[in-house]
Amino acid sequence: MNLILLGPPGAGKGTQAQLLQRERGLVQLSTGDMLRAAVASGSELGKKAKGIMDKGELVPDALMVGLIRDRIAQPDCAGGFILDGFPRTEAQAKALDQMLAETGKKLDRVIEMEVDEKALTERIVGRYTCAVCGTGYHEKFKRPKVEGVCDVCGSKEFVRRKDDNAETMKTRMAAYRAQTEPLLPYYSGRGVLRKVDGMASMDEVHRQISGVLAGT
């Protein structure tokens, strides 16, 4: 099963993709995570992407399409994947259609996580992740069971994203509205779009997504 999770920054795409990955063995393909890894490694892609990401703007389509094209061709994606953060523009969506058609793969569902925009900045500025296993936490909504210790791997090191601040969030939201939101009619016209309530609790959103996938 191949899925896209669609929604603005802070909608919970990464959290839900991680749950689906653990439960169903689908591979989470987070373009944001891939780019942050490229920045950390100092690769050519990372050098090109860093300044753009820090400003909250979108990395050029050609780079993103190349990244995803290579990634979905890897053997671990054969059993299904969850796109988290891609596509973000119509050009990326069209390129995805083409690469799926070329490789004989199908897009089963696009899940829109509907959220109240006012809540997003609060979600974004409070979030952090385990530096070792990448599990996501939030100062207010999801603290580790033991303060300062990752629930999943026991690490005591956590990181925050540089672009998770109120100022950059404005640019990221504007990019979402102008370039990503138009993908909703694009996918709804093809009958693959389903909506879930992204404002519900993490478990409830997961339950709703599982309901959507049960009908797939």
Residues that bind ligand AMP in the complex, under the rule CB under 6 A: 9, 31-32, 35, 52-53, 56-59, 64, 85-86, 88, 92, 163, 172
The C-alpha angle with vertex 124 and arms to 172 and 67, in degrees rounded to 5, equals: 55
Active site annotation includes 194:
no
User: Closest approach of Cβ 7 to ligand AMP, in Å?
Assistant: 10
Shortest Cβ 147–ligand AMP spacing (Å)? 26
Asked if the peptide bond before residue 8 counts as cis, ω within 30 degrees of 0, the response is no
Backbone angles phi, psi at 161, to 5 degrees: -80, 140
- Minimum CB distance to ligand AMP, residue 201 (Å): 21
Of these residues, 48, 55, 161, 195, which one is catalytic?
161
The residue from 50, 88, 123, 194 that is catalytic is: 88
* Known catalytic residue at 106: no
104: Cα within 13 Å, side-chain hemisphere: 2
| Greatest Cα pair distance in the chain | 48
Burial 31-59 (b: 16+ CB within 10 A, else e): bbbbbbebbeeeeebbeebbeebeebebb
Identity of the residue, 58 or 110, whose beta carbon is nearer to ligand AMP in the bound complex: 58
Q: Among this protein's residues, is 24 annotated catalytic?
A: no
Cβ distance to ligand AMP smaller for residue 146 or 178: 178
Distance CA 207, CA 46 (A): 36
Catalytic-labelled residue, pool 36, 109, 123, 127: 127
Supply the DSSP symbol for 92.
H
88 as an active site residue: the answer is yes
Distance CA 121, CA 165 (A): 8
Nearer to ligand AMP by Cβ, of 104 and 179: the residue is 179
Give me the residue whose beta carbon is nearest to ligand AMP. 32
Quick check: is 13 catalytic? yes
Shortest approach of ligand AMP to residue 13 CB, angstroms? 7
Catalytic residues: 13, 88, 127, 161, 172
